[in-house]
Amino acid sequence: MTGHGDPIKMTAHKSGPLRGTAEVPGDKSISHRALIFGALCVGETKITGLLEGEDVLDTAKAMRAFGAEVTRHGPGAWSVHGVGVGGFAEPEQVIDCGNSGTGVRLIMGCMATSPITATFTGDASLRKRPMGRITDPIALFGAQSYGRAGGRLPMTVVGAHDPVPVRYTPPMASAQVKSAVLLAGLNAPGQTVVIEKIPTRDHTERMLRGFGADVSVEQTDEGQVITLQGQPELVAQEVAVPRDPSSAAFPVCAALIVPGSDILVPGVSQNPTRNGLFTTLRDMGADIEFLNEREEGGEPVADLRVRYSELHGIDVPASRASAQIDEYPVLSVVAACATGVTRMPGVHELRVKESDRIDAMARGLEACGVRIEEDEDTLIVHGMGPGGVPGGAICASHLDHRIAMSFLVLGMAAQNPVSVDDGSPIATSFPIFEDLLARLGATIRREI
């Protein structure tokens, strides 16, 4: 969908203790991939726990447009009858990926080695985001792309008729870029190789293997070398999507900064390429227990018990950036409520997310009375200690779900209410956010 309808102003008020169980939705990265990989199989892939946020629903629509049969059977229960590797049909209409960078970039990769043409667009946020990071590598396979200035959407991709395999080192740490190249490599003969200097989330490698592809990963002096054997026959699977650690981050951080809180967040993925935030929070003094550690749907998961904690600022290692890249907005809120300074280096990729997240958090936190320093690659938050953030501001969400949710979490612990000008993007990744926080005891009001 393009745009999110009318803006919805939301305000979070200072909260009493948060208590209870927070069942957060399915993982967004895995949900997109389950639909896409299902579409690349012959046979029926059955999915449970799918995130039914707008981003993923847009990917479901896109897979239908490329010829797959995608059916919803009940809450989170979906099936996909795929068309096989190289079997994508040419869509009749423009593919609208809404707010989703993951959706559009992975799908561009998938179709880039099929002899079809597709045009992609998205909402005002997605139309600002760089697509050159995808069009550069897919050109090596033989695909052509025609977009707006600066490699922006809308963009038409003409898939390669005779794709060649590729050896590619992404210039930035990006799971979307790695995944787009591997997905393009599926329909190229021979071996496609991606060399990652900094490892990023590994759902594509894990899931492709689960669907029957031959994917190997080797640590070398060059970095992590991922090798895919092209033209496999992918085999339909049953996929149980674990709960999203990036969504769990919001109730977890809220409980840590609202005095007296004690909550349980069950079944959260603890994939080591995704769980950096929990390590960082513990380094800051957070009381988080990992209970009932187990494996679900091929991913390590745990139940998190989180209690209010008096936190202190730290120097967050830059090497942890990719394992918590989506969590910096809410981490900066926690840092504002901690005692002392928190330095977050190595975060330049935040500038090209759904919004420029360094700028969005810096301006909103300043409006709430917090002292911030920033440069191109670093965010520094001067913590005001428990109960010390004045709040009382309206913060701009810039069509970015995680910015909106982060400021609402701040409002639960600040002295005065904190508003966001538009909370509607929350529906892209966490449609039950308001209900879930309300059940824990938080007060978030919509203002008409």
Q: Which residues have a catalytic role annotated?
A: 326
**Dihedral sign (CA 347, 349, 352, 353):** negative
Q: Does 29 bind ligand S3P (CB under 6 A)?
A: yes
In whole angstroms, the minimum distance from the beta carbon of 413 to ligand S3P comes to 25
Residue 14 annotated in ligand binding: no
In whole angstroms, the minimum distance from the beta carbon of 431 to ligand S3P comes to 16
Please provide the distance, in angstroms rounded to a whole number, between the alpha carbons at the two ends of the chain: 23
- CA 203 to each of CA 6, 53, 378: distance values in angstroms, whole numbers, following the listed order: 34, 19, 27
Residue 353 annotated in ligand binding: yes
Give the whole-angstrom CA distance, residue 184 versus residue 199.
Answer: 20
In whole angstroms, the minimum distance from the beta carbon of 86 to ligand S3P comes to 22
Tell me the three-class secondary structure of the chain, residue by residue. Answer: CCCCCCCCEEEEECCCCCEEECCCCECHHHHHHHHHHHHCCECEEEEECCCCCHHHHHHHHHHHHCCCEEEEEECCEEEEECCCCCCCCCCCCCEECCCCHHHHHHHHHHHCCCCCEEEEECCCCHHHCCCHHHHHHHHHHCCEEEEECCCEEEEEEECCCCCCCCEECCCCCCHHHHHHHHHHHHCCCCEEEEEECCCCCCHHHHHHHHCCCCEEEEEECCEEEEEEECCCCCECCEEECCECHHHHHHHHHHHHHCCCCEEEEEEEECCCCCCHHHHHHHHCCCEEEEEEEEEECCEEEEEEEEECCCCECCECCHHHHHHHHHHHHHHHHHHHHCEEEEEEECCHHHHHCCCCHHHHHHHHHHHCCCEEEEECCEEEEEEECCCCCCECCEECCCCCHHHHHHHHHHHHHCCECEEECCCHHHHHCCCCHHHHHHHHCCEEEEEC
Query: Judged by CB under 6 A, which of 95, 325, 333, 393 binds ligand S3P?
Result: 325
Q: How many residues bind ligand S3P (CB under 6 A)?
A: 10
Interface with ligand S3P by CB under 6 A: which range of 15-23, 67-75, 174-182, 300-308? 174-182
Residue whose token pair is 């707010």: 99
Q: Which is nearer to ligand S3P, 4 or 129 (CB)?
A: 129
Q: Which is nearer to ligand S3P, 175 or 384 (CB)?
A: 175
Q: Does 176 bind ligand S3P (CB under 6 A)?
A: yes
In whole angstroms, the minimum distance from the beta carbon of 173 to ligand S3P comes to 7
Give the whole-angstrom CA distance, residue 99 versus residue 71.
Answer: 22
> Pattern 192-211, binding to ligand S3P, x per CB under 6 A?
---------x----------
Residue type at 371?
R
**Backbone phi and psi for residue 205, each to the nearest 5 degrees, phi listed first:** -65, -50
Query: Judged by CB under 6 A, which of 175, 182, 248, 281 binds ligand S3P?
Result: 175
Q: Which is nearer to ligand S3P, 53 or 391 (CB)?
A: 53
Q: Does 400 bind ligand S3P (CB under 6 A)?
A: no
Residue 357 annotated in ligand binding: yes
Query: Judged by CB under 6 A, which of 96, 202, 326, 400 binds ligand S3P?
Result: 326
Interface with ligand S3P by CB under 6 A: which range of 42-50, 88-96, 175-183, 184-192? 175-183
| Other CB atoms within 10 Å distance of the CB of residue 438 | 13
Q: Does 102 bind ligand S3P (CB under 6 A)?
A: yes
Residue 305 annotated in ligand binding: no
Q: Does 99 bind ligand S3P (CB under 6 A)?
A: no
Interface with ligand S3P by CB under 6 A: which range of 59-67, 171-179, 188-196, 229-237? 171-179
Q: Does 349 bind ligand S3P (CB under 6 A)?
A: yes
Q: Which is nearer to ligand S3P, 4 or 413 (CB)?
A: 4
Query: Judged by CB under 6 A, which of 99, 113, 174, 397 binds ligand S3P?
Result: 174
Q: Does 187 bind ligand S3P (CB under 6 A)?
A: no
Which residues is 418 bridged to in the sheet? 12
Query: Judged by CB under 6 A, which of 45, 135, 179, 342 binds ligand S3P?
Result: 179
Q: Which is nearer to ligand S3P, 96 or 244 (CB)?
A: 244
In whole angstroms, the minimum distance from the beta carbon of 114 to ligand S3P comes to 21
Q: Which is nearer to ligand S3P, 203 or 419 (CB)?
A: 203
In whole angstroms, the minimum distance from the beta carbon of 170 to ligand S3P comes to 9
In whole angstroms, the minimum distance from the beta carbon of 132 to ligand S3P comes to 13
Residue 176 annotated in ligand binding: yes
Q: Does 275 bind ligand S3P (CB under 6 A)?
A: no
Residue 326 annotated in ligand binding: yes
Give the whole-angstrom CA distance, residue 346 versus residue 198.
Answer: 12
In whole angstroms, the minimum distance from the beta carbon of 37 to ligand S3P comes to 13
| Residues that constitute the known binding site for 3-phosphoshikimate | 28-29, 33, 174, 176, 326, 353
| Residues that constitute the known binding site for phosphoenolpyruvate | 28, 101, 129, 176, 357, 402
Which residues make up the interface to ligand S3P (CB under 6 A)?
29, 102, 174-176, 179, 201, 325-326, 349
